[in-house]
Amino acid sequence: MSPRKINPIIRTIPTNKTSYFSHRLLNSGRRALSTSPFSAKPPSVLATDVIKSYFQAGLVNEARKLFDEMPERDVVVWSAVIGGYASCNLHTHAWLMFRDMLRDDGAGEVSPNEFTFSSVLKACKGMGSLSCGASAHGLAVRHGVLGSIYVANTLLDMYAACCCCMGPARAVFEEIEVKNSVSWTALITGYTHMGDGHGGLKVFRQMLVEETELNPFNISIAIRACASVGSQAYGQQIHATVLKSGFESSIPIMNSILDMYFRCVGPPDATRCFRGMKERDIITWNTMIAGHEKPDPHSALTLYSTLVALGTPSPNCFTLTSAIAAAASLAALRAGQQVHGGAIRRGLTFDLGVANSLIDMYAKCGSISGSCAVFEGMREKNVVTWTSMMIGHGSHGQGREAVELFRKMVQAGVQPDRIVFVAVINACSHAGLVDEGLWLFESMWRDYGVAPDLEVYGCVVDLLGRAGRVGEAYGLIEAMPFAADESVWGALLGACRAHKVTEMGKLAAGRVLGVGPGGYLALSGIYAAEGRWGDFARVRRIMRGIGRKKEAGRSWVEVAGKVWSFVAGDKLGPQVEWVYETVDVLASHVMETGCVRNGLWELECDWEDGT
């Protein structure tokens, strides 16, 4: 034994704990500690260090056991255990331990200090408990620790996270005599997370006036606040501040600026920022690909190809999901297959997000067999997986397959949600399975407790309308527990037009006129189908007079592995002659089937052309 009567094994644990963790030899540490005599008070510093080490290694039970075996405990040990629980996200345990400590405090044995309160306030934030946080605030005042900037900042952060308004957090902030960068960052973060980006930016500007030190944390949260309000001017000012402060070499900050440009300005400015970056990581590339995926999917695929050609950084699940979505938007099957191949090579096809995106992509590219192959090969499926497959079957007119898939999903123990019912009822609608669709609609609330909303009602109206049961569709609208919107009335209008139910069509059109161009367009179509060209022309004149104009649809076609984009009436592009020849052939086939009258076809084409 050493002269100080301390077990030598305990003494060596703090200095050798790194080797314990790295070689997973904490079992030896547990055995050593379990045989240590605690008849005499152990050195609190050594015991606290062991407890902290256990919490850092995730050995929560061992830490608590060691704490319980100690005959006497000081504030340092109590704070270590409370902080350890909080760091392991066991926030309720931390709060209960704090209450136990207060009982000892009442007995005059130990009193919490600033480190104790900082840990317990973090636990209150983690629990999302404003009442516990307010209680801790009152106790902090009683113990006189609010003068600590550490406690004040943690209290500010707790109120910003747990309160429904920024009033209490702002009050704490104003009481801090000497504010540091953590104080400002906590307040900006609170405003931003509360959805008040303007308030966050106002605090950030005030911080700059106070000449508080800038750091990656407050800059990043200010960029996020700017993105939330969509302000181009603020974004450019913050970008200039970043350049002036020398943070342009920080990849995380530049990635945040890149995302901000997509949200506030658009792809061109984001692309200029991207080209100016000296270093890029996979988050940079993911931001670029995801930012282009919806407005310019062709560029998104080009960026993905560039990343693959560079070889580093390696694409991850987020990269692949965005690239697959871009291929789906373009209906570019070959491009989607290439991305799929990259996912296979990298072993990422078992990621749920990637697999679900592949199901959607293959269905949108016309390969329902590809969707089925991905679906059947998945080890794990979630509700999004089943829904994507149902949507795929529905878009290919395979309503019965979608209904059967719904039954299999329920048998597998997956609880259907509202989106599942939208998908499967839509599939029934496109396949003419009225009885099956109505059964699903009735079972929503009865069997699964899912309340139908406007979108579901619109699907059922469309289901009935497509089957010619226009009167029932109108009755359903009248019986709805809430007012129908343009989409619901639009579904009825489409049915009236298809089945030439003029009077009800005019009634439905009257409900949506002035809301959007859909009502005018459908009503003019009804008049055209009946040959009432005077009424047709009158409605179109009204539309032009009030500025109602249907945005021209954009289409894509894949030719020899290359995707071409065009709009109705497009006269430009290297493949324009081939496109028009193909459209003419398609139009002649449609007219030969008798599905649409020649005059009506021409009028619809004129309307798409914007005339």
Q: Is 534 in the same domain as 467?
A: yes
If one compares 513 and 174, the residue with the highest pLDDT of the two is 174
Q: What pLDDT score was predicted for residue 539?
A: 76
Task: With respect to residue 90, please indicate whether it lies within any of the assigned structural domains.
Answer: no
Q: Among the three residues 509, 528, 550, which one is the final residue of a domain in this structure?
A: 550
Q: What percent of the chain has pLDDT over 70?
A: 79
For residue 421, is pLDDT > 90?
yes
What is the residue range of 466's domain?
A: 453-550
Q: Is 598 in the same domain as 569?
A: yes
Q: Is 545 in the same domain as 514?
A: yes
Q: Is 488 in the same domain as 543?
A: yes
200 in Cβ contact with 192 (< 8 Å): yes
Continuous segment of H or E residues that includes residue 405:
helix 399-411
387 in Cβ contact with 420 (< 8 Å): yes
Question: Is residue 168 reached through a cis peptide bond, with omega within 30 degrees of 0 on the bond before it?
Answer: no
If one compares 569 and 231, the residue with the highest pLDDT of the two is 231
Q: Report the 10 Å Cβ neighbour count for 67.
A: 20
Task: With respect to residue 516, please indicate whether it lies within any of the assigned structural domains.
Answer: yes
Give the CA angle between residues 65, 67, 70 to the nearest 5°.
110
For residue 89, is pLDDT > 70?
yes
Q: Is 466 in the same domain as 544?
A: yes
Q: Mean per-residue pLDDT for 363-368?
A: 96
Q: Is 534 in the same domain as 582?
A: no
Q: Is 461 in the same domain as 544?
A: yes
Nearest-10 crossing angle of helices 251-264, 282-293: 10
Give the CA angle between residues 21, 25, 29 to the nearest 5°.
95
The rounded distance, in Å, linking the Cα atoms of 389 and 407 is 13
Q: What pLDDT score was predicted for residue 594?
A: 57
Q: What pLDDT score was predicted for residue 11?
A: 36
Spell out the SS3 assignment of 198-209.
HHHHHHHHHHHH
Q: Please choose, from the candidates 529, 525, 545, 534, the residue with its C-alpha nearest in 3D space to the C-alpha of residue 607.
A: 525
Q: Please choose, from the candidates 564, 563, 566, 562, the residue with its C-alpha nearest in 3D space to the C-alpha of residue 554.
A: 566
437 in Cβ contact with 429 (< 8 Å): yes
Q: Mean per-residue pLDDT for 16-33?
A: 45
The DSSP secondary-structure symbol of 501 reads -
For residue 383, is pLDDT > 60?
yes
Q: Please choose, from the candidates 321, 235, 242, 233, the residue with its C-alpha nearest in 3D space to the C-alpha of residue 285.
A: 321
- Judged by DSSP in three states, 563 sits in strand
Q: Mean per-residue pLDDT for 21-44?
A: 48
Q: 333-345 pLDDT, tens per residue?
A: 999 999 999 999 9
The rounded distance, in Å, linking the Cα atoms of 323 and 135 is 50
Number of independent structural domains in the chain: 2
Task: With respect to residue 601, please indicate whether it lies within any of the assigned structural domains.
Answer: yes
Task: With respect to residue 324, please indicate whether it lies within any of the assigned structural domains.
Answer: no
The rounded distance, in Å, linking the Cα atoms of 367 and 431 is 18
The rounded distance, in Å, linking the Cα atoms of 567 and 555 is 6
Task: With respect to residue 598, please indicate whether it lies within any of the assigned structural domains.
Answer: yes
Give the CA angle between residues 393, 394, 396 to the nearest 5°.
65
Residue 427, strand partner residues: none
The rounded distance, in Å, linking the Cα atoms of 101 and 163 is 26
Q: Is 505 in the same domain as 574?
A: no
Task: With respect to residue 472, please indicate whether it lies within any of the assigned structural domains.
Answer: yes
Q: What pLDDT score was predicted for residue 10?
A: 37
Task: With respect to residue 473, please indicate whether it lies within any of the assigned structural domains.
Answer: yes
Range with lowest mean pLDDT among 263-272, 423-432, 554-563: 554-563
The rounded distance, in Å, linking the Cα atoms of 297 and 329 is 7
Q: Among the three residues 550, 571, 596, which one is the final residue of a domain in this structure?
A: 550
Beta strand segments in 136-198, E? none
Task: With respect to residue 507, please indicate whether it lies within any of the assigned structural domains.
Answer: yes
Q: 397-410 pLDDT, tens per residue?
A: 999 999 999 999 99
For residue 352, is pLDDT > 90?
yes
Torsion sign across C-alpha atoms 237, 239, 244, 247: positive
For the chain, helix, strand, coil in percent to 5 are 70, 0, 25
- Judged by DSSP in three states, 245 sits in helix
Q: What pLDDT score was predicted for residue 152?
A: 96
Q: What pLDDT score was predicted for residue 497?
A: 81
Q: Is 543 in the same domain as 494?
A: yes
Q: Mean per-residue pLDDT for 573-595?
A: 66
DSSP-derived secondary structure for 282-303:
HHHHHHHHHHHHTT-HHHHHHH
Q: 513: pLDDT confidence band, cut at 50, 70 and 90?
A: low
Q: 313-328 pLDDT, tens per residue?
A: 999 999 999 999 999 9
Q: What pLDDT score was predicted for residue 569?
A: 61
Q: What pLDDT score was predicted for residue 597?
A: 47
Taking all residues of the chain, what is their mean pLDDT, rounded to a whole number? 85
Q: Is 481 in the same domain as 544?
A: yes
Q: Which residue has the tokens 């789906």?
A: 328
If one compares 239 and 22, the residue with the highest pLDDT of the two is 239
Q: What pLDDT score was predicted for residue 1?
A: 34
Q: What pLDDT score was predicted for residue 69?
A: 87
Q: Among the three residues 504, 519, 550, which one is the final residue of a domain in this structure?
A: 550
Q: What pLDDT score was predicted for residue 571?
A: 62
What's phi and psi for 277, nearest 5 deg?
Answer: -80, 130
Q: Mean per-residue pLDDT for 504-533?
A: 70
Q: Is 489 in the same domain as 571?
A: no
Q: Is 468 in the same domain as 546?
A: yes
